[in-house]
Amino acid sequence: MQSSARIALVFTVLMLAACGGNQQGNTASGDAASQQTFKWKLVTTWPKNLPGLGTAPERMARDIEVMSQGRLKIKVYGAGELVPAMEVFDAVSQGTAEMGHGAAYYWRGKAPAAAFFATVPFGMTAQEMNGWLRYGGGQELWDRLYAPFNLVPLASGNTGVQMAGWFNKEINSLEDVQGLKMRIPGLGGEVLKRVGGEPVALPGGEIFTSLETGVIDATEWVGPYNDLALGLHTAARYYYYPGWHEPGPTLEAIVNRAAWDALPEDLQAMVRIASQAINDDMLAEFTARNNTALRTLVDEHGVELRRLPDDVLKALREVSQDVVRQAAGDDPLAKEIYDSYMAFYTNVRSYHALSEQAYINAR
Ligand code: CA
């Protein structure tokens, strides 16, 4: 055999051996990965098992455990059980818990543009938010915003349009909100401040006592289904709509980056799909339950339902445009997020004017 032919043969044998070895290696590591089990802690900003917001992450955790046949078990903690509500972001960022559930606008102090991934005043509805996040570039921007915090964000719920909130006096003009101490998060709180109110940041579990004891004068929370569960009607008389400040807030699941990277691809897919499922399911639950809860509030508890006057809404809308624009500040990524959000919003609302809106007005 010529030396060049011998070298070629040896090379071929070596290549085959190497390939065989690799295949065995892949199979072995694949088996190991498919049998590896994970136990995660999921911390939430919600009171434990609060209907709607609190029960959604519980359902998501159960879905993931069933789908993974027990390979990924997630234990859900209510606010304050492992960490306080407002420390969920840091706890997951630092790996104290592998996963969290809350709302992005709670973390404006860490990343001002985070509010765009929950809701902004007079912004997009639930349906529109889902379109932007999944097919309009929103998710990619959210990933980039949270990357420096070692967090993977996932849309994991939506309440639909909320109520404007609970008040102990009628709101007939902006004069009536002067000095009003109101629990209202996100950019809506910033708008209230600009028109003379005093926004207060409180997690859900602290609202009722604060309202009842007069620490705050007014509050918003979610809508009839959730607000009835918190008993807010026993501490305030007037229930105002529409929820100009939260027209379709996305709730978020956040996953610690190292915990995410440690999962094999199939478990990552299950977490993604389960969060997408709960994102849709929560909206379905609120849609199904809100009006029945509203009837209970009005008919059984004597709650006074009121619509915010048009001129109040007009003034809030004008201030909101400035607040939302300024939320982006000088940060280049925040500016990119604002531009993407507004471009999508402008586009989708012009079609929705002649589809969703036209139909709802016509039916
Ligand atoms: Ca709210």
Give the pLDDT score at 35: 85
User: Is 242 within 8 Å of 316 (Cβ atoms)?
Assistant: no
In Å, how far are 6, 21, 24, 28 from 17, measured between CA atoms?
A: 16, 6, 11, 16
* Ligand 1: centre distance to CA 223 (Å): 8
Task: List pLDDT tens digits, range 76-106.
Answer: 999 999 999 999 999 999 999 999 999 999 9
* Residues 114-123, mean pLDDT to the nearest whole number: 98
* Ligand 1: centre distance to CA 12 (Å): 67
Task: List pLDDT tens digits, range 29-47.
Answer: 556 667 899 999 999 999 9
* Residue 253, pLDDT above cutoff 90: yes
Rounded to whole angstroms, how far apart are CA atoms 261 and 259? 6
Give the pLDDT score at 329: 83
Give the pLDDT score at 7: 47
* Ligand 1: centre distance to CA 316 (Å): 16
CA dihedral 268, 269, 271, 274 (to 10 degrees): 180
As a whole number, the mean pLDDT across the chain is 92
Indicate the pTM of the whole model.
0.89
Rounded to whole angstroms, how far apart are CA atoms 246 and 185? 9
* Ligand 1: centre distance to CA 227 (Å): 10
* Ligand 1: centre distance to CA 361 (Å): 26
- pLDDT band of residue 59 (cuts 50, 70, 90) is very high
Rounded to whole angstroms, how far apart are CA atoms 53 and 286? 10
Rounded to whole angstroms, how far apart are CA atoms 309 and 304? 15
Question: Above pLDDT 70, what percent of the chain?
Answer: 91
Give the pLDDT score at 328: 82
Question: 28 or 197: whose pLDDT is higher?
Answer: 197
* Residue 22, pLDDT above cutoff 50: no
User: Is 362 within 8 Å of 154 (Cβ atoms)?
Assistant: no
Give the pLDDT score at 28: 47
* Ligand 1: centre distance to CA 359 (Å): 27
Question: 253 or 49: whose pLDDT is higher?
Answer: 253
* Ligand 1: centre distance to CA 145 (Å): 23
Task: List pLDDT tens digits, range 311-363.
Answer: 999 999 999 999 999 998 889 999 999 999 999 999 999 999 999 999 999 99
* Ligand 1: centre distance to CA 243 (Å): 8
* Ligand 1: centre distance to CA 315 (Å): 20
* Residue 202, pLDDT above cutoff 50: yes
* Ligand 1: centre distance to CA 60 (Å): 21
CATH of 38-161+248-287 among 3.30.465.10, 3.30.870.10, 3.30.70.260, 3.40.190.170: 3.40.190.170
* Ligand 1: centre distance to CA 67 (Å): 32
* Ligand 1: centre distance to CA 200 (Å): 12
Please give all residues whose CB falls under 5 A of ion ligand 1, grouped by chain where several chains appear.
162, 220, 246
* Ligand 1: centre distance to CA 185 (Å): 7
* Ligand 1: centre distance to CA 248 (Å): 10
Other beta carbons within 10 angstroms of residue 222's beta carbon come to 24
* Ligand 1: centre distance to CA 164 (Å): 8
* Ligand 1: centre distance to CA 237 (Å): 18
Give the pLDDT score at 10: 44
* Ligand 1: centre distance to CA 220 (Å): 6
* Ligand 1: centre distance to CA 355 (Å): 27
Counts of helices then strands in the chain (DSSP H, E):
13, 11
User: Is 203 within 8 Å of 87 (Cβ atoms)?
Assistant: no
